[in-house]
Structures are given as structure tokens and as C-alpha cells.
Amino acid sequence: MTEAFTPPLAGIRVVELTHTILGPSCGMILADLGAEVIKVEPVDGDRTRKLKGFGEGFFGYFNRNKKSLAFDADAPEGRAVLVKLLQSADVMIENFAPGSMRKRGLGPQHLEKINPRLVYCALKGFLPGPYEKRPALDEVVQMMGGLAYMTGPSGRPLRAGTSVVDIMGGLFGAFGTVLALKTRERTGKGGLVESALFESVVFLMGQHLAITAMNGAPPPPMPERVSSWAVYEIFATSDGLQVFIGITSDGQWKRFCETFRQPELAADPRLATNNQRIEARPWLVPKVAEIFKRHTKDEIEALALEADISFSPVARPQDLFDHPHLLANGSLAPTTLPGGVRTRLPLLPFQMLGWRPPLVSDPPTVGQHNEQVLAEIGYDAAAIAALGAANMLGPRKAT
């Protein structure tokens, strides 16, 4: 790919009125694809900037490649700024509580009047229906949609270890937005795109619904599932670590027996096929566990690669910083987080035509692009200075 490659969304202006993960992840995807994403923040900054605990990394990860415009959108002067900005935009993203944008006069019908070409991306808990006015969170819909039930053992529902539904809802919002922009090329009009958390988790549950319909009985939680493969487990190693091994074909079983020097298992007629091995699991899995327990993690990895069977160490998130594959192919982009912390964070996980969506700019500081964006929508230096003097722009000056 040459440096002259034009990102697919170059020239598209997105106004992002979002917070936390659902909306910002949608905006990040569009920004990574080349759109100019202007993150509108209150004068004191997006509240996500101040989160602690598990939320401390939200802003730094989901707001790269964006511009920050911080102002008081509730004041008359700020409302005028917002209207001008939306008139200049191709897309608006919001993930506020159901009905809150309409109450502010910023619903789809209102914005269609000021900018008929605007694609309005609304990210909510539920698509239209009886539940559409309910508040929702990632964890709420994981419980409601059966994901938590399927993740933990019986009686102990467990949310997934990352904000999988928020991110998926944002991804589908971005996908719908791109399709709406494509449709606009034909019709000349924008319109409403909706993506929701609950329907996203239900989509993830589709395979479980299908097996329920086919078998006439619901599947058990994943920790208690009946595997389709005989050896598909986490095993302990001799150096106190854990590895996952998946042997999913008869050919892999033969290679495993050869490489790990198990001629008796290879010759056992009770283990000739995968289905026979599944029947033998009560005694076979402990036997295989003994074999792996004799080897270190590195030894198992080398033998698994030689046998061409699926292998992985049980990793922790921090192990990814130094993962050789990610470092070699540039999947982790050097990033400066709020507070000046330097690290490496994941890029979007795809390439198109040899192009990988890059990190162009770090997460912005509050109001970092105030003057630039205001000038682009028609404010001269005196008007910008007047907004600043009236404390309409962030970061707010001490008084």
C-alpha cells in the first residue's frame, strides 16, 4: 500500500455526542477509517475522563484519532455553536438516555430540518419496541440476553471479561452509518441509524438458539458444555502454567500421538475416531492431562507446533504488550494517554487492500481543537475570543 492511499471515510465529518464506551467505540471506528470525528465535550470534559477502577482506560482507548471541541452546549451561545457544527456534518452519533435528545430539540426530526443530509446514529439499550425507553448497560444486557448465564457455571452467571456488547453495539452502529452514507450517495438524504445493546447480545446468542431449536433442549453453560471434540481443554504444565489444547480432527489426534510419543493411544481401537474419543473422555482427558503435566509450557508449544494442533498459553491482558506476533505486524500502536502515559494499544483488527487503519493522533485533551473547529464553521478570532471570555469554552477558566 502506498502513502497516497486515501482512507475510505476521508472527507466525512462526524459530530460525536457520546460518553463511556458504546458511542465512543462507534466514533473511534469511523475515525480510524479516516473520518474527521469531532468529539463534543462539556467545558469540564467528558465525564469518562474522570472514571476510576475498571473505567480508567475507557477514554484513552476509545477516543484516539478524534478532535475535542469543549463548550457549554446548554447556553444559548453554545447551542448556536452546536447547530452550526451539525449543519456542517455528515454524521452525528449519540448514546444518551432514550428521549433525552428529543427533549433538547436534537432528535432525528429536528436535525433533519437543519441538515437533511445528516446521518443520525442513535446508540441505545434497545431497538424500538416495548423496552425502548428502558435504561441499559453492557452488564444489564449480558444478564438479560443469556450471555452471563452461558459464561459462568450453573447458578453463577458471569459477565464477559471485557465490554463486549458495548463494543459490538458501537461496531454495528459504525457499520450502519457507513451503509447510510453509501445510500445517501444515491438518494441525497441522510436519516436515522439505530444500534442497540440488547439486540447485539441476542445476535451473539443465535448459535445457542439454533441448537435449542434443533435439540429441543437448551445448552448448558459453557463450563459444563459437552464438547464437540474429545480434547478441548485447559491443562496444567510442569512449570506451573496453563495451556489450552484443541485436537479437533482424527488427523490431529494421530499427529498428537506421534509427536508426543504415545503409540499406545494411537493404537487403541477405542480412540480411532473423534466420536469414540468423546465417549472415552472420562478416562482419556485425565490421561492426556498427565502427558502435558510432564512438559513445560515452552516444550508443549514446540511440540504442538510440530504436530500442527491448536495451542495457546492462558494469557493475561498485560501479556499482549510484548506479544511477538503483535509487535512484528504493528497491531499495537504507540499511544500517549491522558496524563502523558506512553503505551501501545490495539488498532482495528483488519486490513483492506493492504492498508491497516492507523493511529493518526492520540486521545485529545479537553478542548484541544476549539479554535480550529470553530474557525472551520465560521467563527472569526474575535468571536472565538468572546466565547472564551464568557467561559463558554473548555477547559473552563478558574474564576
Is pLDDT above 90 for 3? no
- Report the distance separating Cα 383 and Cα 397, nearest Å: 17
The 3 state secondary structure assigned to 171-234 is HHHHHHHHHHHHHHHHHCCCEEEEEEHHHHHHHHCHHHHHHHHHHCCCCCCHHHCCCCCCEEEE
- Tens digit of pLDDT for each residue in 325-375? 999 999 999 999 999 999 999 999 999 999 999 999 999 999 999 999 999
Element (H, E) at 245: strand 242-247
* Residues 57-74, mean pLDDT to the nearest whole number: 97
Side-chain-side CA neighbours of residue 249 (13 Å): 7
Buried-state track 84-110, b at ≥16 Cβ within 10 A, e below 16: bbbebbbbbbbbbebeebeeeebbbee
Is pLDDT above 90 for 203? yes
Q: What percent of the chain has pLDDT over 70?
A: 98
Whether residue 268 lies in the annotated active site: no
Q: Checking phi first, is residue 384 left (phi over 0); if not, alpha (psi -120 to 50) or beta? A: alpha
What pLDDT, on the 0 to 100 scale, is given for residue 380? 97
* Residues 393-399, mean pLDDT to the nearest whole number: 75
Spell out the domains of the chain, with CATH numbers in brackets: 13-204+330-389 (3.40.50.10540), 227-318 (3.30.1540.10)
What pLDDT, on the 0 to 100 scale, is given for residue 28? 98
SS3 62: helix
What pLDDT, on the 0 to 100 scale, is given for residue 396? 73
Is pLDDT above 70 for 399? no
Catalytic residue chosen out of the listed positions 46, 72, 90, 166 = 166
Is pLDDT above 70 for 42? yes
What pLDDT, on the 0 to 100 scale, is given for residue 80? 97
What pLDDT, on the 0 to 100 scale, is given for residue 165? 98
- Tens digit of pLDDT for each residue in 138-196? 999 999 999 999 999 999 999 999 999 999 999 999 999 999 999 999 999 999 999 99
- pTM here is 0.95
- Tens digit of pLDDT for each residue in 216-239? 999 999 999 888 899 999 999 999
At residue 398 the predicted structure's pLDDT band, cuts being 50, 70 and 90, is low
The DSSP-derived string for 273-296 is: SHHHHHHTHHHHHHHHHHHHHTS-
Query: Among candidates 346, 301, 357, which has minimal Cα distance to 321?
Result: 346
- Tens digit of pLDDT for each residue in 267-306? 999 999 999 999 999 999 999 999 999 999 999 999 999 9
What pLDDT, on the 0 to 100 scale, is given for residue 397? 64
